[in-house]
Amino acid sequence: MVALPIGLAAQAGGRIPLSAQKSVLTQEMEQRMLAHTPTKRLGTPDDIAGAILYFAAPISAWVSGQTLFVNGGGVQTLDRADPPFRS
């Protein structure tokens, strides 16, 4: 029996606007999230799929135990004050 290497990795996605969220995610809430996101846009399902495809591709064969944050480079949360963050 040949032992196969198993790499464990995770993808941590940022805010992806879905149809179920349209009734609760207001324009104001979206703008507050984007204030913390350098790309100034919310993610798409394709953004998340690209990260998952990376982990499934041979190019990531030496990647193990890592988390790839796919979030536009920011913190998309509503529980912090607008920049600069206040505690």
Please give the pLDDT value at position 87: 40
The model's pTM: 0.65
Amino acid identity for residue 81 in this structure = A
> With bands split at pLDDT 50, 70 and 90, how would you rate the model's confidence at 80?
low
CA distance linking residue 56 with residue 9, whole number of Å: 10
Residue 11 has phi, psi (to 5 degrees) of: -120, 130
What is the average per-residue pLDDT within 24-30?
83
Amino acid identity for residue 65 in this structure = G
Please give the pLDDT value at position 46: 92
C-beta separation of 72 from 18 below 8 A: no
82, two tokens? 């607008």
> What string of DSSP letters covers 2-37?
PPPP---EEEEE-----GGGTTT--HHHHHHHHTT-
Going from N- to C-terminal start, the domains of the chain cover 9-70
> With bands split at pLDDT 50, 70 and 90, how would you rate the model's confidence at 68?
confident
Tell me: pLDDT of 37 over 60.
yes
Q: Which of 5-9, 27-31, 47-51 has the highest mean pLDDT?
A: 47-51
